[in-house]
Structure 1
Amino acid sequence: MKLKSQAKNKTATPAAPLALALALTCAVAAPLAHAQNGPGGLALAQQQNCMSCHSVTRTFMGPALRDVAAKYAAKPEAQTYLAHKIMEGSSGVWGVVPMPANTQLNPGQAALLASWILTLK
């Protein structure tokens, strides 16, 4: 009887890590996709004070985020480029007011913000 229970455990074991990996992927990917394409990107932008200088639709201290999306939408590496600019800061691209570096963001957050911005075009 002991052999049967061990055999059952051995056949069930390889599927368990696969099921766990699938569950973790879904748990991580679904919120990320929602944040990139939905209100999560806006919420992160508000939380990280991006909206202190930017608006989605109008120029304020910085350019409108729709204008940023329109300018870079056709660029092949737009998401990577914008994520870098978000983290490192920029000057002279949109006028005389420099954008400070956002050192409080991790690379994933910067990438998420860049992806969300590009959906605004």
Structure 2
Amino acid sequence: MKKFILAGILAHTMLSTAAHAAEANAAQTLAKKSGCFACHNIDKKVLGPSYKDVAAKYKNDKGAEAKLVAKVKAGGSGTWGDMPMPPNSHVKDEDIKTIVEWILTL
């Protein structure tokens, strides 16, 4: 009986992990398609901060998602230095939300 329970837990964990990986891959592909990787990278600074640095900066900020969605949409400067981030009005709001959610998981 314990073997069946453990097998069920393991199967659920594997499916959840696979689903999370698929969502992360889809969000990363969306970020590339939207042009985000022209200025950002996952783990190193390009023109803008790395996505891991963004995730670390906002780790304990409960309002981070909404702030970042608004900032990506409107653009801005000053948070990471003088280099301005242009507005991304060409990217759909739901796509920006998906990308920001993914960045915050890094």
Check whether TM > 0.5. yes
Deviation at 1:36, TM superposition (A): 8.4
State the alpha-carbon separation in 2 of the partners of residues 55 and 119 from structure 1: 14
Residue equivalent to 2:94: 108
**Radius of gyration: which is bigger?**
1
Write the mapping of 1:45-84 to structure 2, written as runs, cut at 5 A.
Answer: 45-84=31-70
1:89 matched to which residue of 2? Answer: 75
* C-alpha deviation, 1:107, in angstroms: 1.4
Q: Report the Cα distance in structure 2 between the residues aligned to 1:113 and 1:35, rounded to whole angstroms.
A: 14
Equivalent residue pairs, number? 88
Question: Contact conserved, 1:86 with 1:110, CA < 8 A, in 2?
Answer: yes
Structure 2, unpaired ranges of 5+: 1-18
User: Normalized against structure 1, the TM-score is what?
Assistant: 0.68
Separation in 2, partners of 1:36, 1:116: 11
Deviation at 1:106, TM superposition (A): 1.8
| Superposition TM-score, scaled by structure 2 size | 0.77
> CA deviation digits over 1:90-110, x for unaligned, max 9?
101101110000011121111
Q: After TM superposition, which residue ranges in structure 1, 4 or more long, deviate above 2 angstroms? A: 33-37
Contact 1:87 1:110 in 2 (8 A): yes
Unmatched 5+ residue regions in structure 1?
1-32
Return the offset for 1:113: 0.9
Give the partner amino acid of 2:65.
Answer: Q
What percent of counterpart residues are identical? 38
Secondary structure (helix, strand or coil) at the match of 1:43 reads: helix
- Mapped contact 1:35–1:116 kept (Cα < 8 A): no
Q: Which range moves more in the overlay, 63-72 or 35-44?
A: 35-44
CA RMSD of aligned residues (A): 1.7
1:23-38 counterparts in 2 under 5 A?
37-38=23-24
Over 3 Å counting, the alpha-carbon distance change for 1:79 and 1:115 in structure 2 is same
